[in-house]
Amino acid sequence: MIRRFIQNAGWPRIIIALFLLGLFIAAPFVGVRVDTSLSNTLVRFGMNGVMVLAMIPMVQAGCGLNFGLPLGIIAGLLGATLSIEWNTEILAWLSGLGTQYKISWLNDMFVTAWREPLGFASAIIIAVPIAAILGWFYGKLLNRVKGDEMMIATYVGFSSVSFMCIAWLLLPYKHPTMVWGYAGKGLRTTISVEGYWLHVLSDSLALNIQTDDIHLYIPTGMLIFFAVMAVLVWIFMRTKTGTAMTAVGSNPEFARASGVNVDHMRTVAVMMSTILGAVGIIVYEQSFGFIQLYMGPFYMALPAVASILLGGASVNKAGILNVIVGTFLFQGILTMTPSVINSYLQTDMSEVIRLIVSNGMILYALTRKVRAGR
């Protein structure tokens, strides 16, 4: 029974889960509050969850781990910055729409009251089609390089990030909160979303208890959003298309013999991954409070990849449960190690532990023997 459990869960997962548990147990003894830590873990879980979710379609379709997540993130960044750039226009257009079509509730008052959620929604609505287009090209590219997807994805991510570095400087953004003050052009490295859609998800329905005894904050809205996205992905993987996608990843020859267009399925999977990445980064930013441009998205794929692997996924199989478990464990470690270990050792080891755990996990997945017979 226990052996079977260990076999199913895998040693690395159990070791890390026990480590995390140990950190939570040790926390009170070194003066770290468990409730605060738990709150932080939940916040980071909500922030990163959707980006980890973005791994599922590509892994399931046999395209490997999506090291090219930065491409989706770029689409998200475009959506986020454009939603701020055009914030006034969008809101004006919406209330204008209300007047034009005599929709009584869609008036100035409504728009003003809901301007933050509307801004957030506009960011996503702008980002999704961009992500879909980028994902389509990215998918076509990956279809031509079957067998080498992961390495190429990494460098597609890197080169698109560095290309966008140039673009962020040159694109004609005008909004004063976003461009460099002295030059009047070129986007800043970090842009605050305060006043636009800071914490729109995190703070809605949030449970916030701050008394002398308890410091608990649960970003209910953000967790619900993640849950909705997870359920959508879960349902999608059960549709006819999702089933075909899984079969393509499991055995492309079988899928082809069953009349499935393998390349098409892979492209759809890559597009979905890219779109989820775009949505994921916007969720991340509303909680984080800042849009990080330039080299910001550079290494963002690695934590997401490590999370899903930590949750028990392999290079060619991943599910929602892997995402939830993995994100929680990974973000838990990231939250707890600085606070607990630092209080104990008086030094910040979190960066080193992050490097070793995340890359060790990916390494473990890459070197696992592929099942015989393939």
Partner 1 sequence: MSEGNTPLLRLDHIGKEFYGNRVLSDISFDINAGEIIGLVGENGAGKSTLLNILFGMPVISSTGGHEGKIQIDGRNVNFTSPNQALAHGIGMVHQEFSLIPGFTAAENILLNREVLNGSSMSYLFSDRVSTLNRTAMNERARAAINTLGVNISPYMSVSEMPVGYKQFIEIAREIDRKNTRLLFLDEPTAVLAESEAEILIAALKKLARSGIAIVFISHRLSEVKELCHRILVLRDGRLITDRPADELTTRQIASLMVGRQSSSVDLEKHEIPEEIPAEPETADSVLASPKKKKKIRPALKVEHLWVDMPGETVRDVSFEVKKGEIFGIGGLAGHGKLGIPNGIMGLYPAGGTVRLFGRKLTLNKPRAALGRKMAFVSEDRRGVGLLLDEPLDWNITFTAMQTQGRFLLGIPYIFQVRNEHAMRREARKFIDSLSIKCTGPGQLAGELSGGNQQKVCLAKAFVLRPNILLICEPTRGIDIGAKSLVLDTLKEYNRENGTTIIITSSELEELRSVCNRVAIVDEGKIAGILPASSPAEDFGMLMMGQTRHDEEGEESA
Partner 2 sequence: MRKIFDLVANNAVPAVFIIISAFAIPLSGYSASYLIQELLTRIGRNSFLILSLLIPIMAGMGLNFGMVLGAMAGQIGLLFICDWGVVGIPGMVLACLIGTPIAIVLGIFCGHVLNRAKGREMVTSYILGFFINGVYQMTVLYLMGWVIPITNPALLLSRGYGVRNAVSLLGIRGVLDNLIPTIITGTQGAGQFLSVNGAKSYILMQIPFLEGAIRIPLATLVVIALFCVFIVWFRKTKLGQDMRAIGQSQSVADSSGIPVNRTRIIAIVISTVLACYGQIIYLQNMGTLNTYNSHDQTGMFSIAALLIGGASVSRATIANVFAGVILFHLMFIVAPVAGKNLIGDAQIGEYFRVFVSYGIIAISLVLHAWRRNREREAARRSLRGNKGGE
Task: Assess 138 for contact with partner 2 (CB under 8 A).
Answer: no
Sole binder of partner 1 in the list 82, 247, 304, 318 (CB under 8 A): 247
Gap between the Cα atoms of 197 and 154, Å rounded: 31
- Tokens standing for residue 32: 């770290």
Sole binder of partner 1 in the list 251, 345, 347, 359 (CB under 8 A): 251
Q: Residue 315 CB, nearest distance to partner 1 (Å)?
A: 12
Binding mask 13-52 for partner 2 (x = CB under 8 A): ----------------------------------------
Q: Residue 305 CB, nearest distance to partner 2 (Å)?
A: 9
Where does this chain touch partner 1 (CB under 8 A) — which range of 121-129, 210-218, 241-249, 321-329?
Answer: 241-249
Binding mask 48-87 for partner 2 (x = CB under 8 A): -------------------x--------------------
Q: Given the DSSP bridges, would you call strands 290-292 and 207-210 parallel, antiparallel or unpaired? A: unpaired
* DSSP 8-state code for residue 120: H
- Tokens standing for residue 325: 């478990």
* DSSP 8-state code for residue 179: B
Q: Residue 301 CB, nearest distance to partner 2 (Å)?
A: 11
Task: Assess 254 for contact with partner 1 (CB under 8 A).
Answer: yes
Binding mask 177-216 for partner 1 (x = CB under 8 A): ----------------------------------------
Q: Residue 225 CB, nearest distance to partner 2 (Å)?
A: 31
Nearer to partner 2, 13 or 115 (CB): 13
Gap between the Cα atoms of 196 and 249, Å rounded: 41
Sole binder of partner 2 in the list 3, 102, 174, 369 (CB under 8 A): 369
Binds 67: which of partner 1, partner 2, none (CB < 5-8 Å by kind): partner 2
Task: Assess 347 for contact with partner 2 (CB under 8 A).
Answer: yes
* Subset of 303-342 contacting partner 1 (CB under 8 A): 316-317
Q: Given the DSSP bridges, would you call strands 215-218 and 290-292 parallel, antiparallel or unpaired? A: unpaired
Give the C-alpha distances (Å, rounded to integers) separating 109 from 86, 112, 346, 357. Answer: 19, 5, 52, 50
Gap between the Cα atoms of 70 and 291, Å rounded: 14
Nearer to partner 2, 39 or 154 (CB): 154
CB 52 within 8 A of CB 326: yes
* CB contact burial 209-241 (16+ within 10 A = b; e otherwise): eeeeeebbbbbbbbbebbeebbeebbeebeeeb
Where does this chain touch partner 2 (CB under 8 A) — which range of 45-53, 82-90, 258-266, 358-366?
Answer: 358-366
- Tokens standing for residue 292: 């990080």
Task: Assess 145 for contact with partner 2 (CB under 8 A).
Answer: yes
Q: Residue 318 CB, nearest distance to partner 1 (Å)?
A: 12
Q: Residue 154 CB, nearest distance to partner 2 (Å)?
A: 7
Q: Given the DSSP bridges, would you call strands 190-192 and 290-292 parallel, antiparallel or unpaired? A: antiparallel
Sole binder of partner 2 in the list 279, 302, 308, 333 (CB under 8 A): 302
Binds 159: which of partner 2, partner 1, none (CB < 5-8 Å by kind): partner 2
Task: Assess 368 for contact with partner 1 (CB under 8 A).
Answer: no
Binds 256: which of partner 1, partner 2, none (CB < 5-8 Å by kind): partner 1
Gap between the Cα atoms of 133 and 75, Å rounded: 9
Interface with partner 2 (CB under 8 A), residue total: 41
Q: Given the DSSP bridges, would you call strands 190-192 and 207-210 parallel, antiparallel or unpaired? A: unpaired
Residue from 271, 292, 272 nearest 281 by CA: 292
- Tokens standing for residue 303: 């934590």
What is the per-residue DSSP string for 42-73?
HHHHHHHHHHHHTHHHHHHTT--S-TTHHHHH
Sole binder of partner 1 in the list 175, 215, 256, 264 (CB under 8 A): 256
Give the C-alpha distances (Å, rounded to integers) separating 201 from 258, 293, 300. Answer: 43, 21, 21
Sole binder of partner 1 in the list 260, 282, 300, 365 (CB under 8 A): 260
Gap between the Cα atoms of 138 and 151, Å rounded: 13
